Chain A
Amino acid sequence: MKYVDEFRDRELAKTVAEAIRREARPERTYNIMEFCGGHTHAIFRYGVKDLMPENVRFVHGPGCPVCVLPVRRLDDAVEIAERHGVILCTYGDMMRVPGTKQRSLIRAKADGADIRMVYSTLDALKIARDNPDREVVFFAIGFETTTPPTAVAIRQAEKEGLRNFSVFCNHVLTPSAISHILQSPEVRELGTVRIDGFLGPSHVSSVIGSEPYEYFAEEFGKPVVIAGFEPLDVMQSALMLIRQINEGRHEVENEYTRVVTREGNLKAQSLVSEVFELRTSFEWRGLGTVPYSALKIREAHAAFDAERRFEVSEKKSREVKSCECPAILRGVKKPTDCKLFGTVCTPDTPMGSCMVSSEGACAAYWTYGRHRDPVRRPRAKEEAA
């Protein structure tokens, strides 16, 4: 267990923290956006934030797939389950996310819709096999780590001739979201969000490799360090970013070499491109419409595409009024800037997606950080929609 001790060694953490203090120049600030919700969690859970000098700041990005799914797509999933009487399978994180009028999958289930929480697409396939007379829809969400399992499930359903199985695809892409943030008016024109570098996601990168980040490191002149999700990984990666910023470099560096390679998991990538193709645009919660940022099922596999199999009515979807999730996901606001945070919106009564998922910034603040940063405005009850 030698390695375990090394990576959680307080002395080592202190050494890295000291190096950061030594190298972070006092005359400037270092704004580091962590894209991945796993990093947000590590930063709070292990107090990484407290080990940083004042001028090294973490900006929380939109790296939580539950948080970035727009209400419209969730409403569609609820409608597919209710109107078409299917068995709708989804990952547990999605169950409590509030849709329009606070309607969530768990509420629809309580009202009689057949909605089942699964751990894996393998479980959804089994439900389809066990219920040949019912339509089974897998409500797929997630970044590049969760997409390959969906691709395998579609191929498996084809192989077995499981005609009652389909996928409602909401898979999204990390690099295009990061590019979009860098092109946003907040970053580019208004300068209200300063981003000096990125902590690149760990497991997403294990699938897609570090190569896709090279384009925007070059194009936007921002350094990226692919970081593991352990606290010392995050600290070491922050130090690597500070060094790049000091030296005026903007390269992709890989701190997580024990898992991530430049080319990634080629087998997973080829399965994904065999089954999926790019959507020309997709709406993200908080980011709006982002071109070429999501995947849809290719024509060749259309039989397994729930969007082609089930019609959904054109209806108006609506977020909870006053919920600041969209601004929080862009790094424009902190959870404690939201009027609803900690008052009407808590993990037990979430008003927005960022409070539902354990990887959401609001949930992380609630669990580990709410006593640190004062909530700005407690008077909110009457303003919640």
Chain B
Amino acid sequence: MCLAIPAKVVELEDGDMAVVALEGVRKRISTALVEDVAIGDYLLVHVGYALHKVSPEEASRTLALMAEAGVLREELEEITGGEQ
């Protein structure tokens, strides 16, 4: 539950919502906690909310590490499992 996962913004929606894409998974998340989100930004996503922006380098580094540790798949399953 404590992990946060970086994902790229692909769409912006009304009401502080955005769609992020990650490893073929698209997910609607809230951007209520971050200022000035733009398409193409990388956001650190935790329990469906962006906590802050991260650089593309930080994002790719974190994702590679999570993939290596085997936690990326778990996190993705959690994200898609939560989709109602």
Contacts and interface: CB of A to CB of B under 8 A. Distances in A.
A352 B75 CA distance: 24
Nearest to B58: A258
Contact of B46 (A66, A145, A357): A145
B72 interface: no
A210 interface: no
B34 A267 contact: yes
B23 interface: no
Given A92-B1, A152-B30, A267-B33, A146 B65 contact: no
Contact of A265 (B4, B30, B52): B52
A259 B64 CA distance: 17
A276 to B, nearest CB: 14
B51 A121 contact: no
Contacts, number: 117
Given A267-B35, A268-B33, A66 B1 contact: yes
Given A92-B78, A121-B47, A206-B44, A3 B60 contact: yes
A230 to B, nearest CB: 6
Interface residues of B, number: 35
A122 interface: yes
A38 B44 CA distance: 15
Contacts of A126: 84
A120 B52 contact: no
Interface of A: 1-4, 7-8, 36-38, 45-46, 64-66, 91-93, 117-123, 126-127, 130, 142-143, 145-146, 148-149, 152, 203, 206-207, 230, 258-259, 265, 267-268, 271, 357, 359
Interface of B: 1-4, 28-30, 32-35, 44, 46-49, 51-52, 54-55, 57-58, 60-62, 64-65, 68-69, 78-79, 81-84
